[in-house]
Amino acid sequence: MRKESQQPRSLRIATYNIHDCVGIDGIRAPLRILEVLRGIDADVLLLQELSNSRDDQIGGMLVEMFAHELGMHAVQGATLTRDDAEYGNLCLTRIEPTWFEAHDISVAGYEPRGLLEVGISVGGASVRILGTHLGLRPKERARQYQQIRRILTRNQTSRTTLAGDFNDLRLPRQLHSAISGSPSILRRRTFPSRWPALPLDRIHAWPASSLCKLATENGDVARRASDHLPLIAEITLDGLQACTVRPKRDPSPQATRNGRDVSMTPRKPHE
């Protein structure tokens, strides 16, 4: 676990397509994914292809297990139901969200897709984090980029990070100008996990100067646990106080359904 004295002015944010916890060996092993997540030691985790099912190996529901074992708050953004389990995106954060919203960015005729938007407060400043999993076809992604641009432009008071599995090799120009200041465009190869060749998983930060490090977790377990590698970014917060808030050992995390939970603060009005 990172010490609070390290990286006192940054957030560690990671995105990871966990492939429903099925590794390249064809075995579904949630505890193997948990081992990778522990090793990443991120402040915010954005997961894709998560099926919130009950698993005999862990003795409970997957989202609740991840949240409890990592000591993090969970916000789920399900996009569909698969084998009676909610399936889609998940945000895990050590810092309790101040607001959140699950956006439907599906395109008719294609698999349902979503974008999960979560706000946290760090040293009194607002930080906005968005996680998504985009479609496989260029025409589908073009429509989704239009929807993401509208979401990005409606609130420019927050430091913003957009991350996820883009199924694309570059950030389209239409998103570069969505927020004042150019975004970071660094890329790392994350797919396939055994011999990474394509930068399908991405973390973009506005402004670009706020992204000070971008790397993959490519240890042996990570290379076997999913068909994607985790992508990890250090996001600087300029003069803000330390933001690596340590997890409580028994946080009683709330796993929300489609970005909604009455125990949490509701979505703030658009500004």
The pLDDT tens digits for 177-192 are 787 767 888 899 999 9
Query: What's the pLDDT at 10?
Result: 85
End-to-end CA distance of the chain: 37
Domain assignments of the chain as residue spans, ordered by start? 10-250
Label the pairing between strands 231-236 and 10-17. antiparallel
- For 81-140, the pLDDT digits (tens) are 988 899 999 999 999 999 999 999 999 999 999 999 999 998 778 899 999 999 999 999
The lowest-confidence range among 8-17, 172-181, 230-239, 250-259 is: 250-259
The length of the chain is: 271
C-alpha to C-alpha distance for 79 and 19, rounded to whole angstroms: 15
Q: What angle separates helix 30-40 from helix 62-70, to the nearest 10 degrees?
A: 30
The lowest-confidence range among 58-67, 113-122, 215-224 is: 58-67
Q: If you classify domain 10-250 with CATH, what class do you get?
A: alpha beta
Q: Tokens 């125990």 map to which residue?
A: 263
Say what the pTM is.
0.86
Within 10 Å of residue 209's Cβ, how many Cβ atoms? 12
